[in-house]
Amino acid sequence: MNLFAHNVRKVESSQIRIRFKKGVKSLKSISLVVILLLIALIFIFPLVVTLSNSFMSENEIEDNYSTITAVSGTGQSEQKAGQYANIKLIPDIATLDQFYTVLIKRTQFLFMFWNSVKIVFPIILGQIIVGSMAAYAFSRLSFPGRDKLFFVYIIVMMMPFQVTLVPNYIVAEKLGIIGSHLSIILPGVFTTFGVFLLKQFMSYIPEEYMEAAKIDGANHFHMFLYMVIPMTKSGLAALAILVFIDNWNMVEQPIIFLNDDSKMPLSIFLSSINTGEMGIAFASAAIFMAPMLLIFLYSENYLVEGIQLSGIKG
């Protein structure tokens, strides 16, 4: 009888420990979710503020941000000590006046928008073509110095953009393309990131597939076009998204390589808005980030899959 009671207490004690461990694990999971949610809210908050303020009237925006848009006698903005902006997430009266001003009244915005399109999309297409061919060579062809050359690619990829800016400018000047969009497009096409990303994908393709294709009489061109490219669609999509985001936000290249304001991309427009035009700034920022948000929302699966698969095999 004592042995039975001892076994019962032992089972009950074991169950208590199990429930305690489950409770601690659940508490850790809940705490992690709360922390991640707070971090997400911190990052999303500026986006929400920009979108909501873009639908406010100019007078309402002026009332909310008068403390940081006040202009001193020297023509510079100043903020009064102890006063802060009144950030509102819901406008008193929603209006599209700011969007009408940006899209209809100010033709400069649309010109810069199409300049961005003319710069960014050739870079995306060029990186996909050049990067995929170079990645196939590094992953599937054997030639002297292949691994050392790819190591050089990685070193160049890790360098800050400012390091390669001067050499790019010298080359563009020698080619006589300073002041044209080609001075931005060509360096953007021949970057090393696309080669690195797609090489990881192509290295993941089993060698048995390539051997079977060779037995069937396929050459490297057919294997690249009809086998490798279809199997790396997620990598190509991830590359296109990342290249678009990177180049849509470019600032340094247009300022340095372009000397004509009519050729500037949309990313330069936001910095040219006056301090007293907060409504225009919010509306312009909302339109500027709309393509990136749409591409991310509709291509999130490709982006996540592409980033995950790119690190499977080096």
pLDDT of 127: 93
Same domain, 154 and 258: yes
Residue 107, in any domain of the structure: yes
Max mean pLDDT among 43-47, 125-129, 268-272, 278-282 falls in: 125-129
Token pair in block for residue 108:
């400069």
Residue 84, in any domain of the structure: no
pLDDT of 121: 94
Q: Which amino acid is at 156?
A: V
Contact 115, 264 (CB under 8 A): yes
Of all residues in the chain, the percent with pLDDT exceeding 90 is 10
Residue 276 phi, psi dihedral angles, 5° rounding:
-80, 10
Same domain, 225 and 300: yes
Q: Which of 38, 53, 68 represents a domain boundary (last residue)? A: 53
Say yes or no to pLDDT of 8 above 60: no
Average pLDDT, the chain: 80
Residue 76, in any domain of the structure: no
pLDDT of 207: 82
Residue 244, in any domain of the structure: yes
pLDDT of 120: 93
pLDDT of 130: 92
Say yes or no to pLDDT of 312 above 50: no
Confidence at 182, pLDDT banded by 50, 70, 90: very high
Residue 13, in any domain of the structure: yes
Same domain, 114 and 27: no
Residue 223, in any domain of the structure: yes
Same domain, 25 and 134: no
Same domain, 155 and 230: yes
Contact 181, 121 (CB under 8 A): no
Residue 59, in any domain of the structure: no
pLDDT of 73: 42
Instruction: Please report, for the domain that includes residue 186, its CATH number.
Output: 1.10.3720.10
Q: What is the pLDDT of residues 109-130, one digit of tens each?
A: 888 889 999 999 999 999 999 9
pLDDT of 289: 86
pLDDT of 288: 87
Q: How many domains does the chain have?
A: 2
Same domain, 117 and 6: no
Contact 21, 29 (CB under 8 A): no
pLDDT (mean) for 64-79 = 55
Q: What is the pLDDT of residues 15-35, one digit of tens each?
A: 666 665 666 667 777 888 889
Same domain, 120 and 230: yes
pLDDT of 5: 53
Confidence at 81, pLDDT banded by 50, 70, 90: very low
Same domain, 136 and 258: yes
Same domain, 187 and 291: yes
Same domain, 173 and 24: no
Q: Which domain holds residue 265?
A: 97-309
Same domain, 217 and 134: yes
Q: What is the pLDDT of residues 252-276, one digit of tens each?
A: 888 889 888 888 898 888 777 766 6
pLDDT of 122: 94
Same domain, 36 and 109: no
In sequence order, the 6+-apart residues with CB closer than 8 A to the CB of 58 are 97, 98, 278, 279
For CA atoms 117, 122, 125, 127, give the dihedral sign: negative
Q: Which of 53, 71, 86 represents a domain boundary (last residue)? A: 53
Residue 87, in any domain of the structure: no
Distance, CA of 133 to CA of 260 (rounded, Å): 34
Confidence at 67, pLDDT banded by 50, 70, 90: low
Of all residues in the chain, the percent with pLDDT exceeding 70 is 81
Greater confidence (71 vs 48) lies with 48
**Chain-centroid distance, C-alpha 233:** 19
Please choose, from the candidates 267, 269, 278, the residue with its C-alpha nearest in 3D space to the C-alpha of residue 54.
Answer: 278
